[in-house]
Amino acid sequence: RIGSMKISGSVIHSEKELLDLFEIGESDFFVLNYFTEKDHYSKIALDAGVEAMKSLYTGSGYLDFKINKIDTSLSDDKKSITVDIQISEGAQYKIGDIQFTGDLLNQSIDDLRDLLIIAKDDVFQRKKIVKGVQAITDVFADQGYAFAKINPITSEDKKNHAIALNINVDLNQKVYINRITITGNTRTQDGVIRREIGLSEGSLYSNSELNESVKKIRRLGFFSDVKMNVSKLKNTTDKINIHFDLAETKTGQMSIGVTQSNSAGTSFNFGIQEKNFLGTGNTLNVSFSSSKAVTTGSFYFEDPYFTDDKSSISYGVFSKTLDGLELVSNGYEIDEAGVTLGYGVPLTETTRVNSKLRVSKRDLTCTDTFKLDEPEQCPTIGNEINETDVNLNLNWSGSTLNQAYNPTEGSKNSLDFSVSLPMSDYRFYKLNASHKKYQAINKNLTLKIRGNVGLAQGYGGKEVPFFERYYGGGSSSIRGFKFNSLGPTYSNLGQSGNAKGGELSILTGASIISPMKFIKDSDNMRMSAFIDAGGIYDKTSSFTFDELRMSTGVAFSWLTPIGPLGIYAAKPLIKKSNDETTTFEFTIGSTF
């Protein structure tokens, strides 16, 4: 065991900073050390720490850094080892003159300097130079020079502690694509994959197009793994083959069973969800579910490539019966049935605009337990009100996620506007904006940041229907608060009355997500620590920080054979005395 470990000779970095680079060292706190075994000596771990220390110094300009001595000695009782490392840091080198030589094509020196992201008199940093060289390589690779060699040649000026840099460009020949082959797609049709590839056989090679093609195939969500390989063609220097090796994943789900959640109770459901119907890339959903609060049925079909320019069409039918007393403790019932028709067009490779027309007939009945501040929205008790809603929805969406399931990089954004048209019995519109951002912290941890703002407004002298307002609380908004319990309450019931929803919704949150690699076959499992915050406001003008709520907790999700399972434990951080809170909740068979 290591009894003592010291590093001497450091000035720029503290001894503690350098010791933290080593996996071994003096004993941790005794309970922690039981798990980390920090004080267990290992020659391999010692050498790895020394290399990490060298990289730290040489990577930040200390090119004359040296390890003067590494001394390991055994104690007299032969029970512990003393490790003594002596170093000399040397002087810090900076960048001297920068030159570009070779065939630069039409690229200006200034443009290439900008790509290099390091300039004269900057501290010499190898990582920045490597990153800049890769950026320059990509510029030429996008012009067909797949095998361009960008060689950074350095020369030291020890007197002035400067490094002159010469970036030599050797383009070789332009390269064209001979064949594109695909294997592993046992269900998905070849054309569904090829339409995501931005290159074609016979075209000029482009590195960025190829990388973007890999991302687009991953974003389909049809494959658990996407590998791409570029190989030279024998006896030629200007042609290559590109091969995609794919591993299919399940894209459909048929479920007959029971959904259970603390908030919504028990529901019986049947569903067929397939987003790669018969391998065509089309989406087909058929579902039916029934609970005390809500009974729904729907059919939906979407063709994302209805035209060659990637325009999409969708259509569907739906029905819904809702018992407000069971859902939000308010005495009303809704029977609704309708149809939808949608059309979408791409704007760029990662953004598109979709439109949808939704026509429905709605029967509204208010019972004697109905509670409402605006009784004109339900003027009669016990009588059925027949209403028609013709709703137009416009949606902009964009996604740069690196994969459809459990992304670790990229963002997903949407802006959604829906309005009940003048021929409807309603006069209101909704505007929703949402953002999700994923950023890898390291190879195991991912930071997720989300935000959503929604506002609803009536027009033409009418109010937003009470059943179209926003509600908050529960697994999809602010965990730790009871489902649909947040926001303003009915004034005729006092502060302890039921939530009536609001016309403004602000929700945000952050999570640190980790796979569960310590469990075998855990690819579909994730655990996370989260913070949720937000509020529901009666009117768009009634926003105040005093009404914000916040919670924190931990969550677990698992895509099981019978559907998604989610469990979370949450504790409110900011709440009010009359808030209804919940510490623990689980869902089976609902969307995470």
Confirm whether 208 is domain-assigned.
yes
d(CA 271, CA 285): 7
d(CA 135, CA 120): 18
* Structure-token pair, residue 423: 């021929």
The answer to whether the CB of 66 falls within 8 A of the CB of 88 is: yes
Confirm whether 75 is domain-assigned.
yes
Q: Which residues contact 393 (CB under 8 A, 6 or more apart)?
A: 354, 355, 356, 357, 358, 416, 417, 418
Q: Which helix (H) or strand (E) holds 385?
A: strand 384-399
Confirm whether 439 is domain-assigned.
no
Examine the domain organization and report whether 101 and 163 are in the same domain.
yes
Could you tell me which residues are beta bridge partners of residue 536? 505
Query: Of the candidates 229, 248, 267, which is a domain's last residue?
Result: 248
* Structure-token pair, residue 307: 């035209």
Cα angle: 167, vertex 170, 175; to 5 degrees: 135
d(CA 294, CA 334): 9
Examine the domain organization and report whether 68 and 139 are in the same domain.
no
Query: Of the candidates 88, 110, 128, which is a domain's last residue?
Result: 88
Examine the domain organization and report whether 15 and 29 are in the same domain.
yes
Q: Collapsing DSSP states into helix, strand and coil, what is residue 225?
A: strand
Query: Of the candidates 170, 189, 207, which is a domain's last residue?
Result: 170
d(CA 242, CA 228): 7
Pairing of strands 81-88, 2-8: parallel
CATH at 238? 3.10.20.310
Helices (H) and strands (E) in the chain, counts: 8, 25
Give the Å distances, CA to CA, from 564 to 170, 553, 591. 52, 20, 7
The answer to whether the CB of 102 falls within 8 A of the CB of 168 is: yes
User: Which residues in 75-212 belong to E strands, given as ranges?
Assistant: 81-88, 94-102, 149-157, 162-170, 176-183
The answer to whether the CB of 166 falls within 8 A of the CB of 150 is: no
pTM for the model stands at 0.66
How does pLDDT run along the chain (592 residues), one tens digit per residue? Answer: 888 999 999 999 999 999 999 988 888 666 566 666 778 888 999 999 999 999 999 989 999 999 999 999 988 888 889 999 999 999 999 999 999 999 898 888 989 999 988 899 999 998 899 999 999 999 999 999 999 999 999 999 999 999 999 999 999 899 999 999 999 999 999 999 999 999 999 999 999 999 999 989 998 889 988 999 999 988 888 999 999 999 988 777 666 655 555 445 566 777 788 889 999 999 999 988 877 778 889 999 999 999 988 899 999 999 998 876 665 556 678 899 999 999 999 998 889 999 999 999 988 887 766 665 555 556 566 667 788 999 999 999 999 998 877 889 999 999 999 999 999 988 999 999 999 999 999 888 999 999 999 999 999 988 898 788 998 888 788 998 887 788 777 665 444 456 778 999 999 999 999 988 777 777 788 999 999 999 999 888 888 888 899 999 999 988 776 566 788 899 999 998 888 888 887 766 543 2
Confirm whether 482 is domain-assigned.
no
Sheet holding 223-232, edge to edge: 176-183, 239-248, 223-232
Examine the domain organization and report whether 126 and 163 are in the same domain.
yes
Confirm whether 327 is domain-assigned.
no
Confirm whether 572 is domain-assigned.
no
Examine the domain organization and report whether 166 and 193 are in the same domain.
no
Pairing of strands 176-183, 162-170: unpaired
Q: Which residues contact 56 (CB under 8 A, 6 or more apart)?
A: 13, 18, 21
The answer to whether the CB of 264 falls within 8 A of the CB of 292 is: no
Examine the domain organization and report whether 61 and 136 are in the same domain.
no
Examine the domain organization and report whether 133 and 193 are in the same domain.
no
Examine the domain organization and report whether 30 and 84 are in the same domain.
yes
Q: Collapsing DSSP states into helix, strand and coil, what is residue 18?
A: helix
d(CA 430, CA 504): 10
Confirm whether 367 is domain-assigned.
no
Residue 38 domain boundaries: 2-88
Q: Which residues of 387-412 are buried (b: 16+ CB within 10 A; e: fewer)?
A: eebbbebebebebbbebbebbbebbb
Q: Which ranges of 10-72 does DSSP label H, i.e. alpha helix? A: 15-19, 30-36, 43-58
Confirm whether 206 is domain-assigned.
yes
Q: Look at residue 590 in the predicted model and tell me its pLDDT.
A: 40
Domain count, the chain: 3
Q: Which residues contact 175 (CB under 8 A, 6 or more apart)?
A: 144, 145, 146, 147, 204, 205, 238, 239, 240
